[in-house]
Amino acid sequence: MDLNAKDEEIRIVKQMCLRKEIASKRYDTDRFVAFCKAQKEGGEEIDNWTLEELQEMVVDFKLKYNDLLKQSTGESFKDKGILEDTSSVDSADFEGLSQEKSVNELSSDFDQSDFMIESFMRSATDAHERRRSTIDMGVKARTQMEMSEMVIRTRCRSIERGPVSNFSNVTVAVVDAKIVPGSFFSPNYVSYSVKTEPFDWTVRRRYSDFQWLRMVLRKTFPGYIIPPIPEKQTSGRFKQDFIEYRRVFFSYFLASLLQNEIFRRSKCVEIFLSVVDSGLFKARKKE
């Protein structure tokens, strides 16, 4: 599925606008989507709105939301000190986000966003390194008995058996991939279909799900080598050759896991391969 570059840029501008005016100001995003859905058929899809129409929806939603809060609490967002007075919100708030923006202007906006993201990531990395240093010091300070007990608990988890470990001829493959259009507050992403036999399990997973599986295995089995997954990439991730490269890589990753008896017994591997419902899968990941 090839996405039109211009349409994709416009969708990103819409999402940036909504994150700025709704999500970042702590309005209820689910209520906003429901509000848009009530206005017209297909209103829950961001591609069914022009940027100008979304600007009007944001203004109307803020006014209505503030009125509802004032009726129920006697206070406006401004009185509560949570948000700015929304009665003054108008289309001027969206200056610089016109749908007729040129590609060059959009690119400039994205470059500025990239700079902010890079700065944030550097700060996050520094904080992560400090935390890691602290954790390493704590681990070294543990007594030999504590370390032995941790190893015993890990071994106990590893011997639990499940459906995957009870069959010797289990096979898994990532059979296809498709681009899923973004919503009001989320970007496009690639969904991969994972099929496991002989159970006839077919689930859809995205890149972050593969990241989660590998992370959990590394934490659960610290002494084992976990097969790699493709590195995260932002640019060009919707190109067909790159999607196919990832599909093959993910198939190799999962097949390699099932070759190890310890990983075959892991509960997180079973959850990854068998839970179809996306909501239930998210809940099981938090267990």
Q: Give the mean pLDDT of the chain.
A: 77
Euclidean distance between CA atoms 168 and 267, whole angstroms? 17
Radius of gyration (C-alpha) of the chain in whole angstroms: 24
Q: What was the pLDDT predicted at 9?
A: 77
- The pLDDT, as a whole number, for residue 210 is 97
Q: Are strands 171-180 and 201-205 parallel, antiparallel or unpaired?
A: unpaired
Cα separation, 204 vs 191, whole angstroms? 6
254: confidence class by pLDDT, cuts 50, 70, 90: very high
Which pLDDT score, from 0 to 100, does residue 131 have? 60
As a whole-number percent, the residues of the chain with pLDDT over 70 amount to: 67
Question: pLDDT grade, residue 259 (50/70/90)?
Answer: very high
Closest to 224 in 3D by CA, of 138, 167, 155? 155
Question: Tens digit of pLDDT for each residue in 131-158?
Answer: 666 555 554 544 444 444 444 344 434 4
What's residue 108's pLDDT? 53
Contact 273, 203 (CB under 8 A): yes
Query: How would DSSP label each residue in 33-51?
Result: HHHHHHHSTTTTSGGGS-H
Vertex 141 angle, CA 140 and 143, to 5°:
100
pLDDT of the residue at 168 = 81
Q: For position 233, what pLDDT does the model report?
A: 85
The β-bridge relationship of strands 189-197 and 201-205 is: antiparallel
pLDDT bucket at 86, cuts 50 / 70 / 90: very low
Region 107-121: mean pLDDT is 52
**For residue 106, pLDDT beyond 50:** no
For the cut 60, the answer to whether the pLDDT of residue 192 exceeds it is yes
Which pLDDT value is given to residue 138? 54
